[in-house]
Structure 1
């Protein structure tokens, strides 16, 4: 598996200066890796799957049993002179399986293959979690920027409205101009409320995944080793995607299940060794005056052969059922492969298109800034109306929001593309929050255990509760990118022909 340490390097896609105390994407991923309940539950599931191997092996190991009993004959037949009044018995049996038609061997193989599938599924869960964390992280950054832009827009429109009212008082503008400014400000305020609600929702989603509230989030580093074309992405994804590899392992395991089902109609051979002990506790022949042995032992050894002749069609039905399960698993491999291919291609398309949108939006933002300046200047000489200024301001805001959104989309799509290619798991990310979870260690510790009374303490819960996390607000914690920032309150001269919003 390729290891590329995704989270090292310098930010390129989202370049800005972050505060010293900012929270990084790596820190968010480490928190999620160590405390997310979904990932912890999947780890527990893998440990449970590990136990299927010793369970399967146990069917091929010797078994020992002891039985005992005590009988008190409270009522005896009148003509029974040798029946004991009481009896104590005990027996032991050792049974050693010699041949089981390959059922045990194939059960172990199926269990071992499913252990491998479980580990791959755990890798897929890691990748899915990290992709969701990256999405939530970028959503907060995006929505904070959008809230800042809308706050900036509200302040600009409020200044415009006040200036329009002043010019209306001196007869330079009409009531229609004031109404247009007033309406546009009302719309801007509603857009701000919507943006603030969306920011709160994004922060709550972040808490759900990471376990703590987002702080001052630092812009993440650039994503390295992204493919040059979708075909390259698909080729890597088909070879390395853990979800697809897990589906293939489950298909292989279902093939062993067929052999297990076929073994049910084959002979089995066991070596059986038994011992018996009895003691009549002095009650045998007590009324006859004849000395009789009151205890004894016996032992036996032999081979047991079981040849199934007729089981009502049960073995054949089990074979057919296992064959259909294998067909189902094979179809699920194809289904998963289709999904992986679609995920890789769509993520690549979104990533590439978002990069193009970023470039176009940067041009549009700069152009709209110049356009707004020009419209304001032309309005000062009577060539533009207030509505032209309002439209230019809205176009600037729209292009800024598009730029912020495309930056978020490019990063999330790029990470999703790496996840589809199998390169977005814990060992790929260079996480430095402690040792990584090793599922093989638990498997090695339980595979060879055969003692019936082995136990371990209940696993400690890893997932952390967020009940005590305060409800999130919409206060912005980070400054705007310089390309997005603009003076909020332009110099306004209400005594002359200079209209609202003209920069001096």
Structure 2
């Protein structure tokens, strides 16, 4: 009997209390799919990856020639007199000097700064993809937490409201017994105080549920209408703690993103050092001029030139040397930040492993507490009927049972969240691991669309 009541008051309260009549149930998979598609944090990080993609064609531009065209036009009038016996009349000459040309400048070698810039841009793209994967993990974990928060808070509110009804009945019975002289006014006051406290607790639970509903909508993009119970993850989790730590150090996106950051910082050192090397370039120019100054009116001139140039840096006040040293220090800083990130991830894995491992024990203890509290309340009520227990004893036993049921609901909530937290800590909380039926966002599509794009201001989506 006690076990049946446990399942009805705790587990069923978490699920059935949420079911709207005739509404289709929402599963955790469906909720996470909505979060994956609609969450603004994920979408803005996808946009950040697309921003990084454009650094590839920007860096590749260093291999391309720089082509420019120029043109000019003017009016000129020359009036001359007193030129001698051979020129009896003043000289009046009008002309319209004008021309156009095309200049092509091609970098031949610049200390390999272009090649290193391209590789640095690629590292930035890979790092941004890992940051996106980390954001997806965090959003999915938050969505699981808010999903379970709604279920927990709904169940707790249902328990609190049920407790108010029980205490109302307890107050009515105590008042009847007071009227016939079986109890004192103190017993009535105790029942009234318990009822007032229960009503306040129910109002607090209602406020907490409203906050959880708001968080759910923010993370998932929809209002929860009918949530189904969730089982903790088992199959997807590592079997032992050393395995979990090893996986996290290799696969966690926060660590992988930092490793790409190290690559980018190392390439920045090479780029800075490249400024110390000579620069070799070619410049070709074609110019057409009309009414060339000093030539007869109507004359034309076509000029073609090709020039090779080498520039050897000697000294720029020390700025290039300082920039190189600064890049090396930034590389060292990034390496230290990566070590710090490794330690943070390891600590998170250990903490998540401990919490998840203890969840089953906490859940068993909570169930045992509910069973014992139910038996205790039933006994106290029977003893109170024959005068062996006071009204306060009954009220305390009723409150102990309520607290035990709330702890059970909380333990059920925590067991699910802890399992997802462990999967996130090792770096494997993803739609692929969870088997979500949702199209995967592939950042390589946009990358392939823009990496060789040489002109045009419209983005691939038409903006």
TM-score normalised by length of structure 1: 0.83
Q: What is residue 88 of structure 2 aligned with on the other side?
A: none
Q: Where in structure 2 are there 5+ consecutive unaligned residues?
A: 1-9, 84-90
Q: What is residue 341 of structure 1 aligned with on the other side?
A: 346
Q: What is residue 418 of structure 2 aligned with on the other side?
A: 413
After TM superposition, list the pairs within 5 Å mapping 1:341-490 onto structure 2.
Answer: 341-433=346-438, 435-450=439-454, 452-453=455-456, 455-456=458-459
Shift in Å, 1:293: 5.3
> Aligned partners of 2:237 and 2:221: how far apart in 1?
29
1:35 aligns with 2:46: no
> Aligned partners of 1:27 and 1:422: how far apart in 2?
21
Q: What is residue 5 of structure 2 aligned with on the other side?
A: none
1:166-220, Cα deviation, whole Å (9 max, x unpaired): 1001000011111111111111111000000000100010011111110110112
After TM superposition, list the pairs within 5 Å mapping 1:113-192 onto structure 2.
Answer: 113-192=123-202
1:34-93, Cα deviation, whole Å (9 max, x unpaired): 111111110010011011111111112222111111223478898998996432121211
1:269 aligns with 2:280: yes
CA shift in 2, pair 1:83/1:100, >3 Å: farther
> Aligned partners of 1:14 and 1:176: how far apart in 2?
37
Q: Equivalent residue of 1:68, what SS?
A: strand
After TM superposition, list the pairs within 5 Å mapping 1:197-208 onto structure 2.
Answer: 197-208=207-218
1:323 aligns with 2:334: no
Q: Equivalent residue of 1:59, what SS?
A: helix
Q: Equivalent residue of 1:302, what SS?
A: strand
Q: What is residue 55 of structure 2 aligned with on the other side?
A: 52
CA shift in 2, pair 1:171/1:79, >3 Å: farther
> Aligned partners of 1:195 and 1:79: how far apart in 2?
108
Q: Equivalent residue of 1:344, what SS?
A: helix
On the 8 A contact 1:29/1:210 being kept in 2, the answer is: yes
1:256-275, Cα deviation, whole Å (9 max, x unpaired): 00000111111011122111
> Aligned partners of 2:341 and 2:78: how far apart in 1?
71
Q: What is residue 204 of structure 2 aligned with on the other side?
A: 194
1:103 aligns with 2:106: no
Q: What is residue 24 of structure 1 aligned with on the other side?
A: 27
On the 8 A contact 1:268/1:307 being kept in 2, the answer is: yes
> Aligned partners of 2:368 and 2:393: how far apart in 1?
21
> Aligned partners of 2:279 and 2:411: how far apart in 1?
66
On the 8 A contact 1:358/1:403 being kept in 2, the answer is: yes
> Aligned partners of 2:164 and 2:194: how far apart in 1?
9
On the 8 A contact 1:14/1:220 being kept in 2, the answer is: no
> Aligned partners of 1:22 and 1:308: how far apart in 2?
71
More helix by share: 2
> Aligned partners of 1:79 and 1:103: how far apart in 2?
63
| Larger relative contact order (CA 8 Å, sep ≥ 6) | 1
Give the total of aligned pairs.
440
Q: What is residue 304 of structure 1 aligned with on the other side?
A: 309
On the 8 A contact 2:249/2:346 being kept in 1, the answer is: yes
After TM superposition, list the pairs within 5 Å mapping 1:251-266 onto structure 2.
Answer: 251-266=262-277
> Aligned partners of 2:329 and 2:75: how far apart in 1?
55
CA shift in 2, pair 1:402/1:91, >3 Å: same
Shift in Å, 1:17: 7.0
Name which of 250, 253, 260 aligns with 2:261.
250
> Aligned partners of 1:125 and 1:428: how far apart in 2?
16
Q: Equivalent residue of 1:89, what SS?
A: strand
CA shift in 2, pair 1:92/1:21, >3 Å: same
> Aligned partners of 2:77 and 2:268: how far apart in 1?
53
